[in-house]
Structure formats: structure tokens, C-alpha cells
Amino acid sequence: MAVPLRFSTPAPSSRLEEIIPGSDRIEELSDSSGEYEDMGTATVEEQAHIAYLNSVRIPITDSLETATSRMDDKTAEIILPFLEGNPDGFTLNTFGIPKLQRESHAGALEAFLGDYPARVAFMDASRPWIVYWALQSLTALGIDISAYQKRVAHTFSLAQHPDGGFGGGYGQLPHLACTYAAILSLAMAGGTETYETINRKTLWHFLGRMKQADGGFTMCPGGEEDIRGAFCAVVILSLTNLPLELPPDAPARKRGLTSFTDGLGEWISKCQSWDGGISAAPGNEAHGAYAFCGLGCLAILGPPKETLPKYLNVPILINWLSSRQCSPEGGYNGRTNKLVDGCYSHWVGGCWSIVEAATTTGLWNRTALARYILSACQDEEAGLRDKPGKNSDAYHTCYNLAGLSAAQHQYKYDENVNKGLGTGNLGAAYHWKTEGVYDGKNNVWDEGDVVKTIHPVFVIPYMSVYEMRKYFEEKEGF
């Protein structure tokens, strides 16, 4: 397949010097082929610095200066010292890169699952998300979360709405995002009693009310219709193995639809923008978070090799996704001309497993992403963040760790995996496997910095995915 490529014009060296202080020494430090064999007496940190400069080569810039380009350059200036040195004094791995600070992150995550002061009451409706982000992050760090099982089941049994679906907490209206975070949290908590707290019958009716005549889903009754809805709905339908037929009371039935998947691929298709990215709804600006939702939805609708080329222009999507990896930072931004941010390590970095399952591998720079996460996104106290200067939080901790997992592990789609599971509705995503830890050029992580594997579509551990689906495949009726 012909993939349009993006060429970088070498910036004049004076311009380069502005962006990467010390870049006038690039040639001194490395030969033009990008090899750096002759490191002489360079320290581990200097070697890492040289390797990094080799890997990013020349930042992609043009001569037009705007407020946006100045902000972008300023951001690089703030971040480079973290990539080239160790301003927070972390313990370093054998590549001279900060180790994954497991203990401090675990401490922050436990705190996120604790009590909150009154001043954060405004976050009450986001409670399901906080639970999901924290539990998922703990599992990524390899921490056993079984101690939370009963609390999770209790929390979400209260947040379940009598008419179906989950809200932020007791008495709150149901919402697809809350329901998505609730189902993923319940899957991670695991166990029959936990699964049985889900009222699948009312959930089916709730999802039926979200389905729209044009194929998409609204986030809540009368709410916005966007690609989050499409993704959340199929994640929920698939994990809880609900019937694909729309319930009799679903309003979309009056418009001739009979199935949850009617018009869905076509609706996703309309979300691909002129520049190849994927937006929240047809006609909007493409954004990485929505790209992941769109690809995740297609990876649940069928094998990526079939659904991606059927509903998307894959070459221009690859071009757009590639353009999100920032130089010289190595992390991703969420949209054109915006800034690198650790959460896009997952929203964009996580797209690659799905895209590579439909095309070919080796499309992105895994080690540059891992370097950005380990060097620039670990908060000196605890947790992971957007970028240096920002506070860590549960959301950025979750999606930095998920992005690190995407960089480190090779997730492969293989229809021969788990043949007995996912044979029914929306079963495609049960056939993923892990093909070992990536071992490429300019590696930046030691064994101790490798996070656990994460299911590339459901973004929870593989076992949580399989066990929940298996339970509901074996269950008769609702």
C-alpha cells in the first residue's frame, strides 16, 4: 500500500540551535549516518543524549512564525532538559533514563481511590472515571487490585440507574461515559457477584435509547451524538454480550433500524476528516482521542484488516497519526498545531496496534514515546502528567501508562487466538495476543520499567476482558 510520507526540510542550523540548545554539537557527537559507535568516554547520560539527538534528527518546522509556532518552540525548550538530563534527580536505568517510579505512582493511585475533600465535590459526576483510571493504572503497574473488589461492586451498584446504565453516583442520570467506566471497572474487579450487579436487561434498553437513526449514539438522553458514544456502546455491548437486536422500545426502530450495528461503520466513516484524522462527529476537527474511539469501535465491529479499509482511508489516516508524534519531544499531540501531552501516549499511541493489525508494523517511533513518558511525564512527587510544569492526575497516569504499554509490547491480532471465545456478537476483539516486548534501536527501558500488558481495544488487562465476556457468553438470558 502506498503511504504518503511527510518529509522534513532540514532547518537552518541557527534555527535548530534556537530549538535544541546545543544542537550545533550534533555532528560532533554523532556521524551523519546516525550511528554513534565512537562514544569514547561519554557517560551513560551523555550517551543517552546522543542517542536521542540521533533518533529525532531535525525538528520539523517551517519559516512562518506564529503565536502557535512560538508556543510549540517554548514547549520544546521546557521539555528538552528533561529528555537530555535528569532535573528531578530520579534514579536512572541503564540507558540513563529515569526508571519507572513504581512505588510513588502506586501511592498516588491509592490516594485517588480514597476520600476527597469537599472542595472537589464538582468532580462527583466523574467518579466512575476516577475509579477506572486508578484501577487500570494499578494493574498496569502489576499491583493486585483484589482488595478493591467489594468496594467497586458496591460503588457501581449505587450508581446504576433504575432505567438502565450508570451515572456518576447514586441518584445521578445515566450517561454512556459513566457506563463505560463502570463496566471496565467492574470487569477489572472481577468475580460472579461483581458481574451480577450489572442489570443487563435495563442496560440493553438504555443503550437502545442512545442509538440514533443515522447509525451513531448519543452520550445520554437528549445529549450530544459523538464518536465516544459509538465506542462506549460497542465496548459495553461486547463485554456484557448483549443481544445486537435493538430493544422493541428503541426510538431508532421507528426509523427502520433493527440492530445496534446498523449504519454504525458508515457513521464512523463520516467522522474521518479531510486530513485523514478522526473527529467527534462528521465535519469536526480531527482529534487523537476521537481517533482511538473510532478505531476501537471498528476493531470491535470486526477484524481490523476488514473493518479499517472498509470504513476508512487508511493511508491518509496513517499520515495524520504519524504527524501527531512531536519532534523533538517524542510524545504525541492530539491535533494539528497543538502541544505534546502525555495522555495522547495512549489516545494516539494506542491507535497503532489497531492500525498495524490492518496494515504493516513498524509505523511509529516507540522508543521516542517511551522516552517522553519516562523522562518528561513522571511527576517528581508521584503520578504521571501532561508535561513538565503540569500536575499529575489519575487520567494522565492511566493514559501515560497505557501508552507506555503500547510502546513496549507488541500486540497482534490473530483470529486463531481464543477460538472458543467471541464467536457470537461483536466478538472480533477477543482474538488479540501479545508477541513479546519490543526490542528496537535506541531502546530506553530496562526490564524493571516494563508495564503489564493491556488489551489494545478495551484498555484493561486481557484476563479481565476474557473473564467478563466468557461469563456472559455462558449465561442464559439476561
The 173-192 site mask, x for binding ligand FPP (CB under 6 A), equals: ----x--x------------
Which candidate in 226, 262, 386, 449 is catalytic?
Answer: 386
Hey, is 211 helix, strand or coil?
A: strand
Helix (H) or strand (E) holding 37: none
The verdict on whether 287 is a catalytic residue reads: yes
Residue 220 annotated in active site: no
**289 lies in the binding site for ligand FPP (CB under 6 A):** yes
Whether residue 128 contacts residue 156, with contact meaning beta carbons closer than 8 Å, is answered with yes
Q: How far is the CB of 76 from K ion (least distance, A)?
A: 5
Work out whether 131 is an interface residue with ligand FPP (CB under 6 A): no
Is the CB of residue 370 less than 8 Å from the CB of residue 404?
yes
For the chain, give the longest Cα–Cα distance: 75
Span near K ion by CB under 5 A; candidates 149-157, 173-181, 276-284, 326-334:
326-334
Q: Of 127, 335, 346, 385, which residue is the catalytic one?
A: 335
150 is annotated as an active-site residue: no
Q: What is the DSSP-derived secondary structure letter of residue 116?
A: -
Q: What value, to the nearest 5°, has the Cα angle with vertex 82 and ends 78 and 85?
A: 130
User: Could you confirm whether 393 is annotated as catalytic?
Assistant: yes
**Per the structure block, which three cell numbers stand in for 328?**
523533538
Asked if 62 is an active-site residue, the reply is no
Q: Is the backbone peptide bond immediately before 328 cis, with ω within 30 degrees of 0?
A: yes
Nearer to ligand FPP, 95 or 133 (CB): 133
Residue 346 binds which entry of ligand FPP, K ion, Zn ion, none, CB below 5-8 Å type-dependent? none
Closer to Zn ion by Cβ: residue 52 or 332: 332
In the set 161, 175, 211, 287, the catalytic residue is: 287
User: Out of Zn ion, ligand FPP, K ion, none, which partner does residue 386 contact, by CB within 5 to 8 A per kind?
Assistant: Zn ion
Tell me which residue of 42, 16, 13 sits closest to 29, measured CA to CA: 42
Q: Enter the C-alpha cell of residue 426.
A: 461483536
> Which of 72, 262, 379, 386: binder of K ion (CB under 5 A)?
72
Place of cell 426510538: 251
* Helix 127-140 and helix 176-189, axial crossing angle in degrees, nearest 10: 40
β-pairing, 409-413 vs 432-437, is antiparallel
Q: Which of residues 290-349 bind ligand FPP (CB under 6 A)?
A: 293, 334-335, 338, 341
Active site (annotated) includes residue 88: no
Stretch that binds ligand FPP, among 50-58, 155-163, 285-293, 357-365 (CB under 6 A): 285-293
If the CB atoms of residues 199 and 279 are measured against ligand FPP, the closer one turns out to be 279
Q: What is the DSSP letter of 289?
A: H
* Sign of the alpha-carbon dihedral angle for 232, 155, 203, 172: negative
325-344: contacts with Zn ion (CB under 5 A): 341, 343
User: Which of 72, 84, 226, 386 touches Zn ion by CB under 5 A?
Assistant: 386
Minimum CB–partner distance for residue 278 and Zn ion (Å)? 18
Contact flag: residue 326 with K ion (CB under 5 A): yes
| Footprint of K ion on 167-226 (CB under 5 A) | none
**CB 445, min distance to ligand FPP, A:** 25
Q: What whole-number distance in Å separates Cα of residue 352 and Cα of residue 269?
A: 18
Which residues contact residue 177 at a Cβ distance below 8 angstroms, ignoring those fewer than 6 apart?
A: 128, 129, 219, 228, 232
By beta-carbon proximity to Zn ion, the closer residue of 29 and 370 is: 370
Residue with cell 437513526: 213
Nearest C-alpha neighbor of 431 from the set 472, 469, 473, 475: 469
Catalytic residue, chosen from 72, 262, 379, 393, is 393
Q: Say which residues have a Cβ less than 8 Å from residue 248's Cβ, sequence separation at least 6.
A: none
3-class DSSP assignment, residue 252: helix
The residue range among 20-28, 186-194, 200-208, 287-295 that interacts with ligand FPP, by the rule CB under 6 A, is 287-295
CA 148 to chain centroid, in Å, comes to: 24
Please say if 396 is a catalytic residue.
Answer: yes
Active site residue 249: no
**Residue ranges in contact with K ion by CB under 5 A:** 72, 326
Query: Under the rule (CB under 6 A), what is the footprint of ligand FPP?
Result: 177, 180, 228, 231-232, 287, 289, 293, 334-335, 338, 341
Contact positions toward Zn ion, by CB under 5 A? 341, 343, 386
The catalytic residues are 287, 335, 338, 341, 343-344, 386, 393, 396
